Structure 1
């Protein structure tokens, strides 16, 4: 008996981007593994790949799924405890039993997964359809259930960690910096000029490092604390400091994506927007909105994502025609248009997706082949890679592979984004049932940036499936790839 996903979708790169963000895996029905975990769970919204960031997906399952066969009783493994669950229970009932046995009230659990108590009550009572897999993963994590099958009733173990990914070694330190709420500024303040130089260097390191997550993990704690301290001061530099702090949060978004702490995704996205509004800077607001749009998209909050993106574009429109603003103002407009295309593709709206892609591509071409927006990687080469993304999302694998043929991957400057591109080509191959080609593209991704594939839910799912059914003659090679990526069959 298996949990069936009749959409064939999986969730997981911002845009590798956040290496950003959820995509179809194959045309065939998959087991529960078809949906890697959310980049985040949306507060107050629907349940929801690196990026989306870099203009890509990061993140949360958006397509309904159904459960196959009947639900049978078995024991729940929860951090050293074993609890029996009765036969024949629906998933909502299983959630309720586990919640009550954990001593957690309905409002508390709902709040921890970004939902209302009324929503959770309706799920538990069967008045709402079964939550998407991304949300089931989040519920399992909050209830400290190590095997997702304990909620779904699947007889076969489905370790949450396989799809939720690993906790990076520096996550605790980054989280501590984000929640350092000291009000008094530090004795020795760094100048805005010095903070700006550190932020520029951090972006450069992030885009050029195969171990980009580890590099950010070492840089972010100090950068976050210093930028937060600078923004709490008074004086002429405060507005500049707020802009820089927003930029630090935009950078942190790439680190917290695909980590088992989805609340941090919403935290940094919301804080970035707040600092942009406080600085009263339309460009900073738009850059922060780009991060929030991805979180909303991966949570399935389509209209909100599109609305925020369009509003941000409208704010910039009066400025982009002026010669005195930098090309980055036009670049973020194109990046937001590409995000709108991505949302439409996730929804399965072919015409709208490509119409917005064409608008974004036109912006990229006007900016020229040498232009690249640092935060989003928006550029001519990345727009070509976005064509692959749309093909995969729309389940037009042939179109995705044809688009990939015309891409010179070396022109994608960002190493994590390039690695994510290879993962998306592997997804297209998987959709066509070509496991050997999928393996080869995953190897290219791993060689390009090991820390992209290691934390990307789509990639981890594909590696797991390859380990179960390896291409002829490649069993050993696939097993080795799985060990390097951190996936055990």
Structure 2
């Protein structure tokens, strides 16, 4: 997931190379790292930045935008008519969700619902998210009341045990909210959700709640760019250190969130380009998944045996290994993933693999499958938007038309 908002740091017209250098240094990324992500030499990056080489073609501009996690392509090109890459348009339900998150009800004229009632509502909300193609709309409708009721339950708890139980549910409500807020144009709101979820989880003293909150907080750090990778690792590894001694007697949910955190550490390693660590963490996560019952599927992270093939595709794609990415695609079945948004996300990762491997037509066909599984997943996914935007400029008429039609479906172009 990508959470960092990109403001316009350019008050005056600036050349492409200068913009690229400013965005790179703001991310804390060296020329060597950027060059590695682009498959170029550090000298090439330097010559682009100092203007000795002309502005690259669209496919390379998009690759640079992805590597630098630039949300608005205009920040890199300086051109009008901005194209949002790593953030989608604000959802119609975002204002109501934001109001509920920002409110801190210290007084209330009604009684909080019972803990068991809240727990059942949250379970139904997660199930609805996994089953609905328009999952953002569905959970966006449920979240305001869930958040307010969970906050009330914390404030009105009579005993310390009741308060801890309510805090665990409040943390879970914030976790659901983070899935809704991610990739939307309100980075400060997302960080507020992630941090409040972690605080509530710690107050609950519930290992599973702490693990889930850490899983989401680590993603927020990692998706803010290379300068935040160390923070992502710190969250991941600290909580893994806390959970590991509990594993011999742990529930399936605690085993699963531990496995999910292990994979997330591998995901960050892949973003760094650390092949050995990335696959090492994936192997550790796979061993954890093997300890779970057949058919188990974690309600928040989607972790389980069925997801490990999809995770392998992600590792290979983040390592920019086109051939290996496609090999992993052939081993990973999408249909075994029960969650519609997670299945759509896997299709997008498959499309990235095919695109890396120079198979743009297969990539577009796979993105169409992603749209069929869950339109609201692809609509807010920057990687999908990048592929569609690039192929909409293709010299092959049929491919250009196919990409343009998909761009209209996901809201990138006006119908």
SS in 2 for 1:370: coil
Deviation string 1:247-290 (CA, Å, 9 cap, x unpaired) is: 10111110000000011221111111101111122221111000
Q: Please report how far the alpha carbon of residue 69 of structure 1 lies from its aligned counterpart in structure 2 after TM superposition.
A: 6.7
Deviation by residue 1:109-128 (Cα, 9 ceiling, x = unmatched): xxxxxxxxxxxxxxxxxxxx
Which runs of structure 2 are paired with 1:64-83 in the superposition (5 Å)? 70=51
Question: Against the structure 1 CA distance between its residues 369 and 403, is the aligned structure 2 distance closer, same or farther, given a 3 Å change threshold?
Answer: farther
Asked if residue 292 in structure 1 is aligned to residue 221 in structure 2, the reply is: no
CA distance in 2, matches of 1:375, 1:158: 37
Note if contact 2:171-2:209 (Cα within 8 Å) is conserved in structure 1.
yes
Deviation at 1:162, TM superposition (A): 5.2
Describe the shift of the 1:155–1:306 C-alpha distance in structure 2 as closer, same or farther (beyond 3 A): closer
Please report the TM-score for the alignment, with normalisation by the length of structure 2: 0.82
Asked if 1:374 corresponds to 2:299, the answer is yes
Aligned counterparts of 2:304 and 2:109: Cα–Cα separation in 1: 39
Q: Are 1:184 and 2:107 counterparts?
A: yes
Deviation for aligned residue 1:412? 0.6
Change (3 A) 1:334 1:70: same
| Runs of at least 5 residues in structure 1 that lack an aligned partner in the other structure | 1-12, 19-30, 39-44, 49-61, 72-129, 138-147
Q: Give the structure 2 partner of residue 197 of structure 1.
A: 120
Aligned pair 1:485/2:410, yes or no? yes
Distance 1:69 1:259 in 2: 33
Q: CA RMSD in A?
A: 2.8
Q: Does 1:464 align with 2:395?
A: no
Q: 1:136 to 1:463 in 2, by over 3 A?
A: closer
**Which residue number in structure 2 is paired with residue 411 of structure 1?**
336
- Number of residue pairs matched? 366
Residues 400 and 428 of structure 1 are in contact (CA less than 8 Å); yes or no, is this contact kept in structure 2?
A: yes
Query: Whole-Å Cα distance in 1 between the matches of residues 269 and 237 of structure 2?
Result: 13
Aligned in 2, Cα 1:403/1:63: closer, same or farther, shift over 3 Å? closer
* Aligned match of 2:140: 217
For residues 165-180 of structure 1, the aligned pairs below 5 Å read 165-180=88-103
Find the aligned partners of 2:109 and 2:349 in 1 and give their Cα distance: 45
- Give the Cα separation in 1 of the matches to 2:153 and 2:395: 53
TM-score, scaled to structure 1 = 0.70
Residue number in structure 2 paired with 1:248: 173
Alignment of 1:276-315 (within 5 A): 276-299=201-224, 300=226, 301-315=228-242
Separation of aligned partners in 2, 1:156 and 1:212: 34
Q: Contact 1:423–1:459 at 8 Å: present in 2 too? A: yes
Structure number with the bigger relative contact order (C-alpha 8 A, sep ≥ 6) is 1
Distance 2:166 2:343 in 1: 32
Tell me the equivalent position of 1:424.
349
Cα 1:216–1:470 shift into 2, 3 Å: farther
How far the C-alpha of 1:369 sits from its partner, in A, is 2.8
Alpha-carbon distance, 1:317 to partner: 1.9
Alignment partner of 1:334: what SS?
A: helix
Q: Where in structure 2 are the equivalents of 1:29-428 lying within 5 Å?
A: 70=51, 133-134=68-69, 137=72, 149=74, 152=76, 154=77, 156-157=79-80, 159-161=82-84, 163-236=86-159, 237-299=162-224, 300=226, 301-322=228-249, 325-428=250-353
Tell me whether 362-371 or 204-213 shows the greater mean CA deviation. Answer: 362-371
Question: Are the structure 2 counterparts of residues 374 and 470 from structure 1 closer, same or farther at C-alpha, using a change threshold of 3 Å?
Answer: farther
> 1:230·1:238 contact (CA, 8 Å) conserved in 2?
yes
Alpha-carbon deviation of 1:182? 2.4
Tell me, yes or no, if the aligned pair for 2:157 and 2:166 is still in contact at 8 Å: no
Deviation at 1:333, TM superposition (A): 0.7
The 1-side partners of 2:290 and 2:147 are apart by 35
Match of 1:435 among 360, 385, 394: 360
Q: Structure 1: how far apart are the matches of 2:129 and 2:395?
A: 33
Q: C-alpha distance in 1, partners of 2:186/2:28? A: 15
What displacement does 1:406 show? 1.6
Structure 2 counterpart of 1:444: 369
Q: Give the secondary-structure state (helix, strand or coil) at the position aligned to 1:468.
A: coil
Point out the more displaced range, 156-165 or 170-179: 156-165
Shift of 1:186: 4.1
Distance change (3 Å), C-alpha of 1:266 and 1:176: same
Query: Relative to total residues, which structure has the larger helix share, 1 or 2?
Result: 2
Asked if 2 retains the 8 angstrom alpha-carbon contact of 1:464 and 1:488, the reply is: no
Deviation at 1:164, TM superposition (A): 3.0
Q: Which secondary structure does the structure 2 equivalent of 1:367 belong to?
A: coil
- Per-residue CA deviation, residues 189-229 of structure 1 (Å, 9 max, x unaligned), is 21111110100000000011110011111111111111111
